Chain A
Amino acid sequence: MGFVDLLQSIIPPALFFSAPLIFTALGGVFSERSGVVNIGLEGLMIMGAFVGIVFNLTFADVFGAWTPWVSIIVATIVGAIFSIIHAVASVSFRANQVVSGVAVNFLALGLGVFLTKQFYGKGQTDMVSEPFYTTNIPLLANIPIIGPIFFQNIYVSSYLAIVLAFVAWYVLYKTPFGLRLRAVGEHPMAADTNGINVSRMRYIAVIISGALGGLGGSVFALTIALNFSHATIVGQGFMALAAVIFGKWHPLGAMGAALFFGFAQSLSVIGGGIPLLADVPQVYLLIAPYVLTILALAGFIGRAEAPRANGEPYIKGSR
């Protein structure tokens, strides 16, 4: 197997597995940058996956080939609305943000499966008829060597995710809005003194994370899982959270980490076909992202500081 062939068999599936992680991790970056820990990413993805699948199944006849696109938009909106629960609990009600996140995960799974049984009379949905399909990207696919590796048989959603990471970076680091959002996460009292509405900023950040989490979940459902059940999203959200931390709370870092995790996940699927990896027991590939995250946190790969006020409810007047 030549090197180019090798890349051709590794990179498309890596991109394919990364896309949902990138979307969701970007959501995590927004939320945590504003100082709200979001363990609920898993739940937001579950919600997104559920809505994406149900909408797709219901409206496949109406929207035809556009169905997956409309589905992910609807899932994004529902994810945003669903995340308001986390925002209310952790910003207004001063709940422990980790606990609230855990509850979001519970609620999403409970609601998702409850409603699935309600709508379809069984614990899992049928396969969708209008998932995302791989395409060749026009023009770029014809470039020699690079074209077949990066632009043939690829999901457009993967590139959407990468583009969005750059957009998120621009928003967070180059706009006044981003500056305020980060200020709220670093030193809410200082931000408050400067006339920034801390609660509102945090609400917006959590809602953005809900939207992106819903988007990530629906993309996962419509490219990888293709149906919804209690086992559709198992750990994807937590892996996205790991990407946030691995990427040092930076959009591009999170994207890089998500790409890496996607790569690791794809290895456990395609590993058998790659000579060097065929003999490595699958379990090592499965646990690699998690072990690496722990090592990264322990400082072996370079220390990262979390936003300073991450996890602390802001109470006016206290210091």
Chain B
Amino acid sequence: MTSNKMFNILVPLISIFIGLFAGAIIMLVFGYNPIEGYVALWHGAFGDLYFIGETIRQATPYILTGLAVAFAFRAGLFNIGAEGQVFVGWIAAVWIGTTMDAPMYIHLPVAIIVAAVAGALWGFIPGLLKARLGVHEVIVTIMLNYVALYSSNAIVRTVLSNNEDRTENVAPSASLASDWLQELTYFSRMHYGILIALFAAVIMWFIIERTTIGYELKSVGYNKHASKYAGMSVKRNIILAMVISGAFAGLAGSMEGLGTFQHMTTQSGFTNLGFDGIAVALLGANTALGVVLAALLFGALKVGALNMPTESGVPNELVDIIIALIIFSVASSYIIRLLILRFKKEGK
């Protein structure tokens, strides 16, 4: 029995294997010892509590951008704009965090919610254009990424600072940082955001699997026309999916603004959190649990990679190559399925 469920687990596993195997070959070709390289990677990701803390810290926004991309995917939409939604969420959170004055139980929630709303708004634009005018969301979201990048840089310079490259730190009452978690992990930058990210994953699972909205979204994703005949509003669902997706990505931005960095700097390019989110969603088969696991893997790869140059001399960009190959493999799941089936038949 080769059920869909089995493929959903096998394809990502095989893809990870392909990526790591290709990485090993590249290391061999360039005269490195792949075992040393991967041991360094492992040490850098899980070597002690500090590295574990950093891995979780890195995985936190990945979970949220992964959820954002996965959620849109379920409704048949491709949100390439998580990147831009991260930016607007980040700047919105820092804006509230630096300019508002309130006790923590008000300040922090407001900062987080405003970030989510900002992201939702950034997702609403492509959603609306797609629903009303049939404009492809991929292009609009790509363009909005750049608008977000340059606009938030301008806001950092002109509104939130006096022509400097970074804002002030957010007030302690808006900070997600946790002395307790930091001490526990030898002063990594781990923060309470992980709880929010995990909670968001539960919410996504709940919306998709347990509510009428989720059912309609999935239905629209499977077959627009059939859903329309069944009496669902395709347009409303498209907009809703992009709005919720944007909200997740906006939250990811608040993780950076209120948790990891506590401020925002002008950026010369993208953070790649949104683009990596695509990889996370794909590898996680667009399910909440899958996204969490994939985010942990990518968090570990990214953080672990930083240790590779010092311990084994391998440039850390190797991990980007590995991630790219994993994406290729997951995207080409058709051929992997075909090979598995053929292999099974020959085995009999």
Contact = CB atoms under 8 A, between A and B. Distances in A.
* A and B held together in a complex: yes
Interface of A: 37, 39, 85, 89, 92-96, 98-100, 102-107, 109-111, 113-114, 117-118, 230-231, 234-235, 238, 241-242, 245, 281-283, 286-287, 290-291, 293-294, 297-299, 306
A68 to B, nearest CB: 26
Contacts of B140: 294, 297
Given A114-B317, A306-B136, A231 B269 contact: yes
Given A37-B138, A39-B138, A287-B147, 11 more contacts: A39-B80, A99-B330, A100-B328, A109-B317, A110-B319, A110-B320, A111-B317, A118-B315, A231-B268, A242-B139, A283-B153
Interface string B106-147: 000000000000000000010001000101101110111111
A306 B134 CA distance: 11
B312 to A, nearest CB: 13
Contact of A99 (B26, B30, B153, B327): B327
A98 B138 contact: yes
B150 interface: yes
B151 interface: yes
Nearest to A42: B142
Nearest to B154: A283
A11 B325 CA distance: 42
Nearest to B328: A103
Given A89-B328, A99-B327, A297 B129 contact: yes
A106 B154 CA distance: 27
B317 A95 contact: no
A93 B317 contact: no
Contact of A113 (B135, B279, B315): B315
Contacts of B333: 95
Given A98-B78, A110-B317, A242-B139, A290 B144 contact: yes
Given A113-B315, A293-B143, A107 B151 contact: no
B334 A95 contact: yes
Contact of B327 (A103, A245, A291, A294): A103
A86 to B, nearest CB: 9
B292 interface: no
Contacts of B129: 294, 297-298
B100 interface: no
A297 B80 contact: no
B196 interface: no
Interface string B315-339: 1011111011101101111110000
Contact of B154 (A96, A103, A238, A281): A281
Contacts of A241: 139, 142
Contact of A114 (B80, B321, B335): B321
Contacts of B317: 109-111, 113-114, 117
A281 B269 CA distance: 19
B315 to A, nearest CB: 4
A245 B325 CA distance: 28
A235 B146 contact: yes
B146 A107 contact: no
A287 B151 contact: yes
Interface residues of B, number: 47
A103 B324 CA distance: 5
B139 A106 contact: no
Nearest to B315: A117
Contacts of A294: 125, 129, 135, 140, 143-144
B146 A290 contact: yes
B205 interface: no
Contacts of B80: 39, 98, 102
B7 interface: no
B327 A106 contact: yes
Interface string B147-185: 100110110001000000000000000000000000000
B269 A286 contact: no
A85 B329 CA distance: 11
A299 B140 CA distance: 13
Nearest to A121: B315
A293 B145 CA distance: 13
B271 to A, nearest CB: 12
B199 to A, nearest CB: 28
Nearest to B149: A235
A92 B142 CA distance: 26
A281 B278 CA distance: 33
Contact of B335 (A93, A286, A287, A297): A93
B320 A103 contact: no
Contacts of A245: 139
B139 A114 contact: no
A107 B150 contact: no
Nearest to A293: B143
B68 interface: no
Contacts of B320: 106-107, 109-110, 113-114
A238 B268 contact: no
Closest 10 pairs (CB-CB, A-B): A110-B320, A107-B324, A106-B324, A95-B331, A283-B154, A93-B332, A103-B327, A110-B321, A114-B317, A117-B315
